[in-house]
Amino acid sequence: MSAKKTLRQAAALALAGMLTLAGCSGPGAAASGKDASSLLDPADPVQIELWTYYNGTQQQAFESLVDEFNATQGKSVGVVVTSSSQGGVNDLAAAVTGSAQELVGYADMPDAFLSYPDTASLVDSFGRVADLSGYLTDEQKDRYVEAFLAEGDLDGTGSLKVFPVAKSTETFQMNLTDWRVFADATGSTLDELATVEGIVTVSQRYYEWTDAQTPDVPNDGRAFFGRDALTNYLVTGAKQLGHEVLSVRDGRIELDLDRATMKALWDNYYVPMVQGWFSSEGKFRSDAVKTGDLLSYVGSSSSVVYFPQTVTVDDQTSYPIEVIALPAPTFESGVPCAPQQGAGFVVTKADERTECACVEFLTWFTAKEQNAGFAVKAGYLPVTKEAIEPEFLKDVALSLGDSSRNYAETLPAALETMDAGLYRTFPTPKGNEARSVLGKSLFDRAAQDRAAVRAQIEAGADPAQAVAAFLDESVFDAWLADLKMQLEAVVA
């Protein structure tokens, strides 16, 4: 065993002792806590099962820390953790909600699972979620970023039903290598990309510039920009403009589909989409960046770990690229606002000993060194005040070598976005469904109508004439009316 590994394990064991003395307090004793040895016994370890949606790099980083916990703190206090990925976010949510209702064909509930607040709220409505607020001392709670901890208070009573482990927001990410060529030729600047409207202007310019590169092939301009999450755009964009599309009052979702606000959102996504300036190709927009079909997108700051380092045009053509990240764009007349994202762990309601074992793992996992290491490898922001320091995170990223190069280079944009203002909707059992309807409505309509425009152009129609019918106000009004009807059906 290396000296570095030995020192790391010694530090982890020391931290285990500190947390055992200070934490895992029983419910109702949050100020002072009680010794975890009254609940946990190394000679009779508690086995806990965790479900995640982590895959690839994130899953590897998480499982490595699970192994480390089991060999260090877990061994010393009597906790053994096993974990498994249930697929994607939606797969995990479906598995958990089915298990919570004890439906036929579903496995028993795990001891803890990754969840976004809306899913946690739904599971909580079945009486299956533990409140962890009493298991942490006030001093322990103060170590966490307040907004991250507050997101776990599902009922507004000071509860902690979603334990924060890693967070993200959205950033603007771009292929800097190809941007430089375009910017030099057209005089475009990075400053233009700070606003939603500026991105539309640059996207039109890029489409026209790329189209002009092949004068013998008309109408082959390329898209400049895309968005990974249309729901985030609609929710935070509306909030920037002074309205909350989805809000919660007395446990019920309320709608605010202000026409002027929704029209601004439409004009700055649907309109450039149907004209080919934006694109929604690929499962994620980074897929199109990898093939050179897209230059930039707004997506989760954690997606930087998947941002390609090479553009592969075809079997014969590929070249390396650099990435640049900028803070999430804001409407020119809007107040900066970006989504607060990132699932936390929900502990299934159980006996006090099992709940305490889960908290032991979660407090260890979110301690400075462990949480920062996981966050950097997985592309997330850590959740404690001492771990989210820029210089510390940059040092961690640089220590991990080329695999975390993108993280180090894009971290400032994520932190600047966070500092400017994050926003989250209050969780409700119907929140996931309402958010899904909201994003899918605009995504599907824009993609469908862009395909119709392309089909007309390929059939010989004039591009301006082909798109004209889709830019009529009546198209927007029909979409808004349909969206309202769908959302009202959900929240009824």
What is the mean predicted confidence (pLDDT) over 44-61? 93
Which residues are CB-contacts of 269 (< 8 A; sequence separation ≥ 6)? 227, 230, 233, 278, 442, 446
Helix 3-22 to helix 56-71 angle, to the nearest 10 degrees?
70
- For residue 23, pLDDT over 70 is answered with no
pLDDT tier at 57, thresholds 50, 70, 90: confident
Q: What are phi and psi of 396, to 5 degrees?
A: -60, -45
Give the pLDDT confidence of 124-146 residue by residue, as tens digits: 999 999 999 999 999 999 999 99
Mean pLDDT lowest for which of 34-48, 202-216, 365-379, 441-455?
34-48
Averaged pLDDT for residues 237-265: 95
What's the burial of 212, exposed, middle or buried (CB within 10 Å: 0-12/13-18/19+)? exposed
Asked whether the predicted pLDDT for residue 32 surpasses 60, the reply is no
Report which of residues 83 and 401 the model is more confident about. Answer: 83
Higher pLDDT, 347 or 428: 347
449-481 pLDDT, tens digit each = 999 999 999 999 999 999 999 999 999 999 999
Q: Is the pLDDT of residue 281 over 60?
A: yes
| Number of neighbouring beta carbons within 10 Å of residue 427 | 25
DSSP secondary structure string for all residues of 349-397:
P--HHHHHHHHHHHHHHTSHHHHHHHHHHHT-B-SBTTTT-HHHHHHHH
Q: Per the structure block, which two tokens stand in for 38?
A: 């009254």
- Residue 407 phi, psi (nearest 5): -60, -45
* pLDDT classification of 428: cutoffs 50, 70, 90: confident
Q: Give the amino acid at 171.
A: T
Find the farthest-apart pair of alpha carbons in the chain and give their distance in angstroms, rounded. 79
What was the pLDDT predicted at 35?
Answer: 52
pLDDT score, position 423 = 94
Q: List pLDDT tens digits, range 296-340.
A: 999 999 998 889 999 999 888 999 999 999 999 999 999 999 999
Read off the pLDDT of residues 248-259 as tens digits, 9 standing for 90 and up.
888 889 999 999
Highest mean pLDDT: which range of 15-19, 200-204, 218-222, 397-401: 200-204
Contact 470, 274 (CB under 8 A): yes
Residue 56 is predicted with a pLDDT of 86
Closest CA to 117 of 426, 355, 433, 421: 426
User: 191: buried, middle or exposed (CB in 10 Å: 19+, 13-18, 0-12)?
Assistant: exposed
pLDDT reported for residue 314: 87
Residue 214 has pLDDT above 90, yes or no: yes
Give, for 312, the enclosing helix (H) or strand (E).
Answer: strand 310-312
Instruction: Give all strands of the β-sheet with 170-175 in edge-to-edge order.
Output: 225-227, 296-300, 170-175, 323-327
Residue 196 has pLDDT above 80, yes or no: yes
HSE toward the beta carbon, residue 398, CA cutoff 13 A? 7
Q: What pLDDT was estimated at residue 36?
A: 60
pLDDT band at 371 (very low <50, low <70, confident <90, very high): very high
Give the mean pLDDT of the chain. 91
Question: The tokens of 157 are what?
Answer: 């009573």
* pLDDT of 262 over the 50 cut: yes
Q: Identify the CA nearest to 180 among candidates 381, 319, 65, 384.
A: 319
